[in-house]
Amino acid sequence: MFKLEAKNLDLYYGSKQALKNISMGIKPNTVTAFIGPSGCGKSTLLRCFNRMNDLIDNVRIEGEVLIDGRDIYHSRINLDDHRKKIGMVFQKPNPFPKSIFENVAYGLRINGVKHKKFIVETVERSLRQAALWDEVKDNLNKSALALSGGQQQRLCIARALAVEPSVVLMDEPASALDPISTSKIEELVHALKSKYTIVIVTHNMQQAARISDKTAFFYIGELIEYDDTSKIFTNPSHEKTQNYVTGRFG
């Protein structure tokens, strides 16, 4: 079964159609890259998977979005429980103005977890998974805002992992980072896929080629091609994909 699936999905912002009849299935424990020129709908589709578009006025959605086989727009789901399954990491690191420890513990606390030992263990596990533990273990009470941009982004990943999601959505998570931090995030994505299903929006073709198993190429709201990453980058079926991955437009 697919972990995430879109079936004949259309999305409108007011009268403007941003997604056109998207159908795709994403298998568990894979990394999928969404690529395509600016404005083609990558972030919009990513946001459909955790119903973040619900927060935007005037959005209309037709078709289905399924997670673990359940339609998240039409079946009766508990939205809070659903969102717990889906971690999200944004382009700009957005730690809270709290300590490193409290940033990672945040999701547990709002879920009502009180068991101190469990919280301490979860914070350590999440920071280790996000490859940040060694850098911060002696300063857990320091403000998260004092970390570097790359460390802040790994902290945001740790924060997302602490509530044990099964899916992690990443919207250009490394685009604001230097090359060393970027390669740490890429290594991390690779390591995390044994436990999570990861979808990553990226403008960086080399990054998509390096870290993803599958790549989806979008163009003006349409899914043009979705296939193994090696095929998309070496022998795509569509001319538009070929032009985009070789840098001829975009």
Ligand X SMILES: Nc1ncnc2c1ncn2[C@@H]1O[C@H](COP(=O)(O)OP(=O)(O)OP(=O)(O)O)[C@@H](O)[C@H]1O
Q: Is 182 in the site for ligand X (CB under 6 A)?
A: no
Among 9, 18, 52, 104, binds ligand X (CB under 6 A): 18
Least distance CB 107 / ligand X (angstroms): 25
- Counting residues that bind ligand X (by CB under 6 A) gives 12
Among 4, 6, 33, 40, binds ligand X (CB under 6 A): 40
**Strands 86-89, 222-228: pairing kind:** unpaired
Among 32, 44, 153, 202, binds ligand X (CB under 6 A): 44
Least distance CB 61 / ligand X (angstroms): 13
> Rounded to whole angstroms, what are the CA distances from 230 to 28, 212, 215, 222?
19, 9, 9, 21
Put the strands of the sheet holding 4-13 in their side by side order.
16-26, 4-13, 59-67, 70-71
Among 15, 38, 78, 194, binds ligand X (CB under 6 A): 38
Q: Using CA atoms, how far apart are residues 198 and 182, in angstroms rounded to an integer?
A: 16
Residues 46-65 that bind ligand X (CB under 6 A): 56
Nearest to 4 by CA among 29, 21, 35: 29
Q: Long-range CB contacts (< 8 A, 24+ apart) of 205-210? A: 205/35, 205/233, 205/245, 205/247, 207/33, 207/174, 207/182, 208/33, 208/35, 208/233, 209/233, 210/186
Q: Is 13 in the site for ligand X (CB under 6 A)?
A: yes
Q: Using CA atoms, how far apart are residues 222 and 166, in angstroms rounded to an integer?
A: 27
Q: Which stretch binds ligand X (CB under 6 A): 42-50, 124-132, 190-198, 240-248?
A: 42-50
Least distance CB 102 / ligand X (angstroms): 30
* Cα 15–Cα 21–Cα 23 angle in degrees, nearest 5: 145
Q: Is 207 in the site for ligand X (CB under 6 A)?
A: no
Q: Is 9 in the site for ligand X (CB under 6 A)?
A: no
**Would you say 87 or 221 has its CB closer to ligand X?**
221
CA dihedral 146, 158, 156, 77 (to 10 degrees): -150
If you count them, how many residues does the chain have?
250
Sketch the per residue contact string, 67 through 106, with ligand X: x for CB under 6 A, - otherwise: ----------------------------------------
Residues 106-165 that bind ligand X (CB under 6 A): none
Residues binding ligand X (CB under 6 A): 13, 16, 18, 36, 38-44, 56
